[in-house]
Amino acid sequence: MTAGPEDHLDPSDELAERKMRFLFALRSRGVTDARVLTAMERVDRGHFVRGIFADRAYEDMPLPIACGQTISQPSVVGLMTQALHVNPRDTVLEVGTGSGYQAAILSQLARRVYTVDRYRRLAREAADLFQQMDLANITTITADGSHGLPDQAPFDRIIVTAAAEDPPGPLLEQLKPGGIMVLPVGQSDAVQSLIKVTRTATGFDYEELRPVRFVPLVEGLGSE
């Protein structure tokens, strides 16, 4: 039996093919913004998925990480980033650093990214990874993200990668006029909606984007 060409794929060719399928999956799931797709092509998700799940880094699925958290599926990361409409001069706050993948993508689009996690271990590991990847425009902080970062506010954009029952008041207050916040909201892990909040001259406009599932937004610092 003669082996086909696919049986002799060089490992680098195989990786390139997996990345190509990865980008195709993003487009097919609604991630169409050219700047977002370019950012997601530049930032290798493989750097953020370790251990036994490393070989699944290019699949469109959430995966477990340390401290009982998850790295979101790439299409959701792309759709959330797309909904933010990040401009090159924007300062962005991310609540929920996790693996660091979302912040790394935002770093390709914004002037400055502040990312906050309640778990010191996650913040430290993400900061080390950002340094290795030479992503100098990300500041990583261990803190209770539900309170935002008053010392650095206001922000042009805010993204929350954990679900609250309602958009936290401190985060709404730290959003600039004209600013956008994207976050999941819902009272259980079974019923959540991704929403986009825009601050206007008279208040806030809310737009529901799609159903999602995220870990809950928890107040206080984590134990790890």
Least confident among 41-50, 110-119, 136-145, 209-218: 209-218
- For the chain, how many residues are written? 224
Q: Is 111 exposed, middle or buried (0-12, 13-18, 19+ CB in 10 A)?
A: middle
Catalytic positions:
72
Q: What per-residue confidence (pLDDT) applies to 10?
A: 67
For residue 3, is pLDDT > 80? no
For residue 116, is pLDDT > 90? yes
* Helix extents (H) in 97-148: 101-107, 120-132
For residue 65, is pLDDT > 80? yes
Confidence band (pLDDT; 50, 70, 90) for 224?
A: low
Distance CA 23, CA 9 (A): 20
Q: What per-residue confidence (pLDDT) applies to 5?
A: 47
What percentage of the chain has pLDDT greater than the value 90?
62
Distance CA 46, CA 55 (A): 8
Q: Is the pTM of this model over 0.75?
A: yes
Q: Are 204 and 176 in contact (CB under 8 A)?
A: no
Query: Could you tell me which residues come within 8 angstroms of residue 48 by beta carbon, excluding any fewer than 6 positions away?
Result: 57, 71, 99, 100, 101, 104, 129
Q: What's the mean pLDDT in 39-55?
A: 88
Q: Are 113 and 188 in contact (CB under 8 A)?
A: no
